Amino acid sequence: MARVRLRKGDITESSTDAIVNAANSALWMGAGVAGAIKRAGGQEIEDEAVRKGPIPVGEAVATGAGALKAEFVIHAAVMGTDLVTGADEIRSATRRSLLRAEELGLKSIAFPALGTGVGGFSYARAAQIMIDTVNEHPAGESGLEEVLFVLYDDEAYAAFDEALRTTDLVS
């Protein structure tokens, strides 16, 4: 099983093999995490993503990472173009992101709090769903060594810290 860690900060500064973008199904990158990734990594990330879309909500695709430290951006469609999300969408987008990382042979991946910004989902519920999904991921079949949750503010960090303490995972 991959080691799970938390960090407070800006996901665009992560040096993991991939960072996850909280995307919409059309894969255009406007506000929130997506906007930050595009600003830090370059327009080519959005251009490549849009060419691969649209994708179903709950699915994920990988692109290059432009000027970011990461090698890939995994775009997890946690909402449609209506910008509405829910528990099932967050669970599926998390699972599909882990699968894309495996397909690419990656060792590390960084997630933001999916669905909590533009999508308006609660930090506490998103944290529990995402951590449970990582916990359920088949340990024997994964080459992932590290899953990092990078939380931008104190409220998000506290919610993920609490959720992590209530699972079998060790941070």
13-44 pLDDT per residue, tens? 999 999 999 999 999 998 889 999 999 999 99
Q: Identify the CATH number of the domain in which residue 123 sits.
A: 3.40.220.10
pLDDT the model gives residue 167:
78
pLDDT in tens, 36-52: 999 999 999 999 999 99
pLDDT the model gives residue 2:
79
> Domain limits at 57?
3-165
170: in domain: no
Model confidence, pTM: 0.94
- Angle among Cα 109, 69, 47 to the nearest 5 degrees reads 90
DSSP string, 27-52: ----SHHHHHHHHHH-HHHHHHHHHH
Nearest Cα to 115, choosing from 38, 21, 47?
A: 21
Counted domains in the chain: 1
Enclosing H/E stretch for 102: helix 87-103
Location of structure tokens 């060594």: 145
In the predicted model, is pLDDT for residue 140 greater than 70? no
pLDDT the model gives residue 90:
98
In the predicted model, is pLDDT for residue 81 greater than 50? yes
Which two tokens mark 138?
Answer: 């088949």
Q: How far apart are CA 150 and CA 124, in angstroms?
A: 15
171: in domain: no
